Amino acid sequence: MALPRKKQFLYEVSGSTPDDLWLDCGTTDSATRMIQNMFGKKIFETIKPIELIIRMLKLACGKESIILDFMAGSGTTGHAVLKLNKEDSGNRKFILCTNNENNNGNGYKIAEDVCYPRIKKVIEGYKNLKGEKVEGLGGNLKYFKTDFVNYDEPTDRNKIKLTEEATEMLCIKEGTFEKVLGPENVKVFKNCDHYTAIIFDQLAIPSFKEAIKGIKGKFSVYVFSLGDETFDDEFEDTKSKIRLSPIPEAILRVYRRIFK
């Protein structure tokens, strides 16, 4: 015979819980109309409403979160992040990855023709079907195409390509995209907050230090080296303005194979 027990509901033990039924989060129809308004024509009809994603973001993320949608399709997640940031002055970032499939039979490639232009319109503003101006939500956007580097073939072309790709990845990590002139073998980028310097040849360290002498502002510095050197000694006299960062191991691993 079962002993008497006190029945406890989830909300009693874990605070607020999401409602079971989300009836106020838009519909596929409303989302389709919104996209139609944005592009001036019907693009496709299986789009999620941004209100739904905003509800999920509010439940799962903080104002500084980075939100990844690895199968981003039409970019609803990015749109929702921008809208929520505008609403609550949040500083969320998003990373959208998507293939460029065109299996809706409508002639549109999902990444090039829908996801990227949609997010650009949301940021910059656009004219709706009635010709009225819809204000942009602000924000910024970088669009990258990804590809495999054939590291079984250590050709000069591959080395140059890999170096360039690694530079972009470090810029994404730092959020610095504005190119600044740097000494030979050093690439420098900045944002409103700091600089990123990527030193491709350790022999360029002295000329880099000389070049930044008169510059105010902090630098994140990456020195490419296939060994385990940290270069702390070389930057001892400039450590107040320099944060020396190791190249991420994932990038180095590919480098070690191609530069061997």
Ligand X SMILES: C[S@@+](CC[C@H](N)C(=O)[O-])C[C@H]1O[C@@H](n2cnc3c(N)ncnc32)[C@H](O)[C@@H]1O
Residues forming contacts to ligand X in the complex (CB under 6 A) are 48, 69, 71-73, 76-77, 97-99, 101, 110
> CB 12 → ligand X: shortest distance, Å?
32
Q: How far apart are CA 202 and CA 32, in angstroms?
A: 54
Which CB, 79 or 187, lies closer to ligand X?
Answer: 79
Nearest residue to the partner ligand X, using Cβ = 73
Q: Phi, psi at residue 95, to the nearest 5°?
A: -125, 120
Q: How far apart are CA 115 and CA 141, in angstroms?
A: 12
Q: How far apart are CA 256 and CA 151, in angstroms?
A: 10
> CB 95 → ligand X: shortest distance, Å?
12
Largest CA distance in the chain: 84
> CB 98 → ligand X: shortest distance, Å?
4
> CB 89 → ligand X: shortest distance, Å?
24
Which CB, 44 or 200, lies closer to ligand X?
Answer: 44
> CB 171 → ligand X: shortest distance, Å?
22
Q: How far apart are CA 260 and CA 257, in angstroms?
A: 6
Q: How far apart are CA 119 and CA 29, in angstroms?
A: 20
| Number of Cβ atoms within 10 Å of the Cβ of 244 | 16
| Number of Cβ atoms within 10 Å of the Cβ of 252 | 18
Which CB, 60 or 215, lies closer to ligand X?
Answer: 60
| Number of Cβ atoms within 10 Å of the Cβ of 54 | 19
Which CB, 97 or 129, lies closer to ligand X?
Answer: 97
Which CB, 39 or 200, lies closer to ligand X?
Answer: 39
CB of 99 within 8 A of CB of 118? no
> Kind of pairing, strands 133-135 and 125-127?
antiparallel
Which CB, 75 or 183, lies closer to ligand X?
Answer: 75
Give strand ranges (E) for 76-199.
93-96, 125-127, 133-135, 178-180, 186-190, 195-199
Q: What share of the chain is helix, strand, coil (3-state, %, to 5)?
A: 40, 15, 45
Which CB, 33 or 241, lies closer to ligand X?
Answer: 33
> CB 86 → ligand X: shortest distance, Å?
19
> CB 17 → ligand X: shortest distance, Å?
22
